[in-house]
Structure 1
Amino acid sequence: MPALALVVVSLSVQAQVPSTSPTYNANTRFEQLGPVLPTPNTFRTASGAPGRDYFQNRADYDIKAELDDATQRISGSETITYFNQSPDVLRYLWLQLDQNLYKPGSDGNASRTGGLDPQRGAAAGQLTAGQTLAAKDYGHKITSVRDKAGKPLRYTINQTMMRIDLPQPLAPGQSVVFSVDWNFNIVDVRTTRARGGYEYFPKDGNYLYEIAQWFPRMAAYDDVNGWQNKQFLGQGEFTLIFGNYRVALTVPGDHIVAATGELQNPQQVLTAAQQKRLSQAKTGKNPTLIVTQAEAEAAEKRGAGSTAKKTWIYQASNVRDFAFASSRKFIWDAMQPEVEGKRVWAMSYYPKEANPLWGQYSTRLVAHTLQSYSRRTFAYPYPVAISVHGPVGGMEYPMISFNGARPEPDGTYPESTKNFLIGVVIHEVGHNYFPMIVNSDERQWSWMDEGLNTFLEGLACLEWDPDFPAEGISPQSIVPYMRTDPTAQVPIMSSSDNIMAFGPNAYSKPATGLNILRETVMGRDLFDYAFKEYARRWAFKTPTPADFFRTMEDASGVDLDWFWKGWFYGVEPVDQDLVEVKWFQLNSQNPEVVKAQARAEAERRANTISKQRDAATRNQTVVAQDSTMRDFYNSYDPYAVTDADRKQYNDYLSTLMPEERTLLESKQHFYTLTVKNRGGLVMPVIVRMEFEDGTDSTARFPAEIWRFNDQQLQKVIATDKKVVQWTLDPYYEIADIDTENNSFPRKAEPSRLQLFKQQQRQVRPQNPMQQQQRQSGASPATQGSGRN
């Protein structure tokens, strides 16, 4: 069977094809993770699911604590019932004393680095940080550790960890009861940037407390680490276990308390009117004010003069932690949206300084988050979700979160503040799913909660507003980080306390990676099914990265080891370069076509500048003026079609098979693309073709296209129409760090040049709401919520 001939009809080269090394990394990139992951066992299976011997220990807490508003101090006592559900005998127990981070000599403080810049100056807190912490003697003060019978237990405090030595070993299946009494001074969030503490409002002389990491908490013991007793250095968050809580919080009598769990004694702490509003909120379509702004302002004015106290009792089942907020400044609103067929409380607590923004948005955002996340994971299992406004910019605990975003004093706000509120509430409420329920080890793997949650946050933000700038999952948004020097990066798979550039590494890069998997590598259906299966498998359990990687592949049937290797275990960027495109068409061998093309090409090549200028004297040449100087060749036309040409063509056609005749008559265009992998990280190859008739089409090739050569590839693409422009990654899907080499022919893009004007006035820009009000002469926005 004769082969169809190809002829190069056009060739445009704008870059030399680079020579490639004979040694490729393709096999390494596409081989399985293998020994990099832990060996499957009876605790954790090769499929990524919990094994038949999977276990987790449990701790139940009965806590009584009092908040002293005059001294900003908490004192408390707790009784812990600890259940050893492991196969191991435990001779001691480890507890976390997180407040000890704020002791001046803690490893977390002593290991912080940084210098002073004389050009920029220094904040007072930067110069006096150690003295500030030492002045009030921060940290947990343990005053008693006793067994169930009241006998003292021996204990040892090692900075943020405390070991209790058991008088009798705790065998598998047994439990032990012991009590701890403690107290500590609450830190000022504004000066320490802590995850919990207080804010003082000098205008009205009141405090707002957001209290977390406040009681001695059991450390985790599992099949992966044994005791997870790594010191708390401030960056790696918390590794905790599930249990049941009953917490009695004694606070000033005019304080409103929000906490993990359900309020057990509303009749003792709420007025009759507030109880009635709470009941009405169950059926309201919009958030109902439980504590109004007028009531909160009245409490503010009374201040801390009264010595009256109230005890708020909260109860929570199967949670890994407990946090609360308390202030006389709180406005409180609530509603009960339906989440996967069940009514759940969505609530917000905030001071008047947060209005009108919080009254309009916060509780609605809580409800939206529960509905969005539940669709993608599992139905929200808890009875309530709370958003509290205070000094903590964003922090999460079971059923309660602390969030920032405060309007200007006149009640206006820039769009960035509104967007921050939307993002932070969705993010922190979303943490109820990761890691409060899918209980990953935050001390070791920050990305397993922050990255997964940032990904879901981005989807929920876009479900809230399709125009929301969900940059946390946009591939283009991670490009500046991916461009940074590799020495300034660490892999996502780095221990939490060792991460440089914490935000991009633990939040944006893993979130963007998941978005790339969903949109480009796996497709939405396969990804969504596998992600939901991971959440379902590991709800109320403690997964590791291997469990996530394995489940995503097990439930989707997609081999993703190349992706985990590149995106999670490495720091190489994506940089695909379309270095060359060659254009071919089948040579029909039809003399009518072939000779016409040859004639046109000859005429094109003959049309030189000299020929054009000599045209005026053409008739003055010897051959033109003397006919005896002409012969056969002066009238011969080499491009004329002869009978012999036609016979040869017909003979050729008679040798072709029917499918070859069809292909020959299709007049298709064939292009060979040469793509260089300059960044190192392999990704699918996506190429957009713009045709000469103004239409376009996109071709997609999986990442496995690089599996035999991870440095350079060639790919043949056939089209019915002529392509005039080629573009790699046209929809910015793969976080390519250099888009200037993605086009062929190359496109020149101008850089923006701005005229420099000396001595420009530096004016702080107004937010658009303020500008509009001043232009219209309207009075400043009120600080009320706009609701009754």
Structure 2
Amino acid sequence: MNNLKYLVLSALFVTVGVFAQQDQEKKEPQQGHVNQNKFKQLYDEFSTPNMYRAASGAPGVAYYQQQADYVMDLELDDVNAKLSGFETITYTNNSPDVLKYLWVQLDQNMRARDSQTPLIEGSGVNPAAQISSYANDYMGEGFDGGFNIQEVKGVNGKPLQHMINRTMMRVDMPKPLASGEQFSFSIKWWYNINDHVNGRGRSGYEYFKEDDNRAYVMAQFYPRMAVYNDVEGWQNSQFWGRDEFALPFGNFEVNITVPADHILDGTGKLTNRKEVFSKDMMKRYEKAKKSYNEPVIVVTQDEVIEKIKTKSTKTNTWKLYAGNVRDFGFATSRRYIWDMMAVKIGNKDVMAVSMYGKEGNPLWEDWSTKAVASTLKSYSRMTFDYPYHKAISVHAKQQGMEYPMICWNYGRPDAEGNYSDRTKFGMMSVIIHEVGHNFFPMIVNSDERQWTWMDEGLNTFVQYVAEQDFGKWYPGALSEGQSAYPSRRGPAKNITRYMGGDQDFIAPIMTKGLNTYQFGNNAYGKPGTALNILRETVMGPDLFDYAFREYAQRWMFKHPTPEDFFRTMEDASAFDLDWYWRGWFYTTDYVDIGIKDVKKYYVTTKANKAGGDLAKRYGMDEKDLVYFVEDGSDEYTAGMKSESISDKSTTLKEYLMDNFTATERAKMEEPKFFYSVTFNKPGGLVMPIIVEYTYADGTSKTETYPAQIWRLNDNEVSKAISSAKEIVGITVDPKLETADVDTSNNTWPREVKQGDFDKFKNKVKN
């Protein structure tokens, strides 16, 4: 630091220190307090690292996870909308613990007549109701859903003791299962399939009255093993309908018998394709495997229209095998059009696939499969190469749900095939989101039942990146006048209304999904936006992307916790982010940073009162100091009269430059204007202060003060600004990057509104 700057800063520092000391001496003694600093490390909130989960956020040396393998035979009764199944589960105990019993999830029981799910929601009498809703709610017995468990047996054919507690079933083993051992058992079951359009649900059928057909999207259709892990032992949270699923990985061999005129696709590789495909379908499929730019239609709309005129009484069995997946889903109907194209991921080809009814056209034929392909490329770039051989998008009314390799998505033109931008981009976005779920949580397998944001929030963040990629890679998808994809979630400004809302109806992100207010904002919008801000504004894309990929690759095909994510992001970036996690994820604080005050100063060699007092107190020569006089103060007025202060700044005397050579002096820019800018923080969330300074000549400069500027004062901070040019305008967060909920205090002069600031700058320039 050169001596001139040192003298100036020393004078300011000493002045502030003296005044602070004097103020402190006047205060009454205060009670002590615990560490409430918002930069306090998260040691109290985090679990202690151990052999299972390392302090770095990586799996520990003793990390384990259980495995559940399934062999299933399923039969669809299309006449009665009923699904029957017989499954054999082989459970491998990779934990160091001895297990006395196993827990199986029975998610369909949420729709049983004795389900308690409707009883946990408050309700009242609405002033009006749809006829169908009125009939369902008040006049009928309700849907007769839920699993009918016919038998639970060991491999020796002997019945196993079991107990059903709502959506969970405990299976008692004949003897405890030791570490490293396997246990196999079978379950025979059936249930009535729900109408997912009128009765709601994540899966089921849609009925088409005009041709008396159904389109089935099937999931949560089989009893599924619960997770047992080092964090909480057995997953013991019931399925109430909102929180999704925690599941172990395993291998699936599934045989599905459906009407012979149905087409079917689902999780896993089709192992008997030649048995269920026609010759024309096989030719088109082989062509699709070599088409990388445009989808190839394997089952055409004309073929579907002809097919639905009759119903086959024969059946086909479709055989699928999936290795190392956490779940299984499938779709089947005689109404499905089917198209495919190849997409290059790393050094292999992946099939992007769509299945849709004629109601989806022309929108689905034009854009569904391209959205699938684009999503796989974007997510692979942000995480790891997509490991499976296909990804399927299935058209289903009012749906948006995901399973390994397959998902169902909404978006339907009107009867004439017309659609609005809202319908088009809604369809594209839900496809990107649901296909993206293959990565989170189907592969990076977080506990959705406990931490919904790790599923939905992380995925919403990458969805935003993928949407922007889609707009660049497929500009024809954009509407006239659009230069970028119109993402609904991701940009900081889109979350401000929620974050600045009624605190009585906002919960921290780190809340179990079932217990949150405003589920969409809490689980999707806020965490997705928080990660986008962290990437674009706090860390920068390079550091963030490296750390994010490290997290994804460390935990692919494993079960991470929030702490594993937080720790990995810091470990791989050398960025201390505890303050960020604490504020955004553990609290409901919001961003509101403003400009409290701006004072303008001039420099002079004539001692002012405060400077003179300082010189006397510390035995300094008044000639060794530079003095700052506030614009408009009494001292400023007196100085102007005595001509010791110019209208800008007095030229510094040569004796202040004695420690610099002529060459050094020539390079030095003498500041003519000095300002003290005080920023305050009415909102509780600490964030970097991004400031744009606009000068009288029309130019501007942006400065970012790191979030740590708030570490010693959580209410307000001041910055001394020296400038060769006069500052005529100051704006905090000029590009709306921080989710500031109130921008009315973001500008100086105050009468200049942030939205009009560009006009103001142009006016100044001209």
Q: Does 1:556 align with 2:573?
A: yes
Q: 1:213-250: CA deviations, max 9, x gaps?
A: 00000000000110002100111100001000011111
User: 1:654 — aligned with what?
Assistant: 655
Distance 1:169 1:517 in 2: 47
User: 1:320 — aligned with what?
Assistant: 326
User: 1:474 — aligned with what?
Assistant: 491
| Change in 2 beyond 3 A, CA 1:650/1:228 | closer
SS of alignment partner, residue 308 of structure 2: helix
Contact 2:113 / 2:143 at 8 angstroms: preserved in 1? Answer: no
Task: Note the C-alpha offset of 1:288.
Answer: 0.5
Contact 2:496 / 2:739 at 8 angstroms: preserved in 1? Answer: yes
Distance 1:686 1:111 in 2: 45
Calculate the TM-score normalised by the size of structure 2: 0.86
Aligned residues: 695
Q: Partner letter of residue 116 of structure 2?
A: D
User: 2:420 — aligned with what?
Assistant: 414
SS of alignment partner, residue 204 of structure 1: coil
- Structure 2: gaps of 5 or more residues: 13-22, 473-483, 608-625, 757-766
Calculate the TM-score normalised by the size of structure 1: 0.84
- 1:146 pairs, out of 144, 150, 153, with 153
User: 2:688 — aligned with what?
Assistant: 684
Q: Within 5 Å, which residues of 2 pair with 1:42-441? A: 42-118=51-127, 121-129=128-136, 134-285=141-292, 286-302=294-310, 304=311, 306-441=312-447
SS of alignment partner, residue 552 of structure 1: helix
- 1:712 pairs, out of 708, 712, 716, with 716
Q: Within 5 Å, which residues of 2 pair with 1:570-649? A: 570-587=587-604
Q: Partner letter of residue 59 of structure 1?
A: A
Q: 1:693-739: CA deviations, max 9, x gaps?
A: 11111010111000001111111122221110100011111100000
Q: 1:330-388: CA deviations, max 9, x gaps?
A: 00000111011210111000000000000010111111111110011001111110000
Q: 1:254-304: CA deviations, max 9, x gaps?
A: 0111111111111221111101111111112321011011111111122x3
Task: Note the C-alpha offset of 1:190.
Answer: 1.3
Distance 2:11 2:567 in 1: 49
Which is worse superposed, 279-288 or 39-48?
A: 279-288
Q: Partner letter of residue 748 of structure 2?
A: F
Q: Partner letter of residue 716 of structure 2?
A: Q
Distance 2:440 2:652 in 1: 73
SS of alignment partner, residue 471 of structure 1: coil
Task: Note the C-alpha offset of 1:421.
Answer: 1.2
SS of alignment partner, residue 392 of structure 2: strand
Distance 1:524 1:159 in 2: 46
Contact 1:6 / 1:586 at 8 angstroms: preserved in 2? Answer: no
Contact 1:212 / 1:324 at 8 angstroms: preserved in 2? Answer: yes
Distance 2:602 2:642 in 1: 20
| Change in 2 beyond 3 A, CA 1:274/1:748 | same
Q: 1:47-101: CA deviations, max 9, x gaps?
A: 0000011111001111111111111110110011111111111111100111100
Task: Note the C-alpha offset of 1:748.
Answer: 5.2
Distance 1:217 1:601 in 2: 76
Task: Note the C-alpha offset of 1:579.
Answer: 1.1
RMSD: 3.0
Which is worse superposed, 98-107 or 555-564?
A: 98-107
State percent identity of aligned pairs: 47
Q: Partner letter of residue 305 of structure 2?
A: E
| Change in 2 beyond 3 A, CA 1:144/1:724 | same
| Change in 2 beyond 3 A, CA 1:6/1:544 | closer
Contact 1:281 / 1:335 at 8 angstroms: preserved in 2? Answer: yes
Distance 1:43 1:725 in 2: 54
Q: Does 1:460 align with 2:458?
A: no
Task: Note the C-alpha offset of 1:404.
Answer: 0.5
Contact 2:112 / 2:143 at 8 angstroms: preserved in 1? Answer: no
Q: Partner letter of residue 240 of structure 1?
A: L
Contact 1:269 / 1:310 at 8 angstroms: preserved in 2? Answer: yes
Q: Partner letter of residue 682 of structure 1?
A: V
Which is worse superposed, 399-408 or 717-726?
A: 717-726
Larger relative contact order, structure 1 or 2 (CA cutoff 8 Å, min sep 6): 1
Distance 1:26 1:712 in 2: 19
Task: Note the C-alpha offset of 1:26.
Answer: 8.3
Q: Within 5 Å, which residues of 2 pair with 1:660-671? A: 666-671=670-675
Distance 1:529 1:38 in 2: 25
Contact 2:590 / 2:683 at 8 angstroms: preserved in 1? Answer: yes
Distance 1:36 1:394 in 2: 34
Q: Within 5 Å, which residues of 2 pair with 1:3-14? A: 3=7
Task: Note the C-alpha offset of 1:670.
Answer: 2.0
Q: Partner letter of residue 416 of structure 1?
A: R
Contact 2:394 / 2:406 at 8 angstroms: preserved in 1? Answer: yes
| Change in 2 beyond 3 A, CA 1:253/1:663 | same
SS of alignment partner, residue 443 of structure 1: coil
Contact 2:747 / 2:754 at 8 angstroms: preserved in 1? Answer: no
| Change in 2 beyond 3 A, CA 1:393/1:674 | same
Distance 1:245 1:126 in 2: 38
Distance 1:749 1:684 in 2: 21
Distance 2:656 2:731 in 1: 39
User: 2:16 — aligned with what?
Assistant: none
Task: Note the C-alpha offset of 1:496.
Answer: 1.6
| Change in 2 beyond 3 A, CA 1:324/1:584 | same
SS of alignment partner, residue 257 of structure 2: strand
| Change in 2 beyond 3 A, CA 1:666/1:439 | same
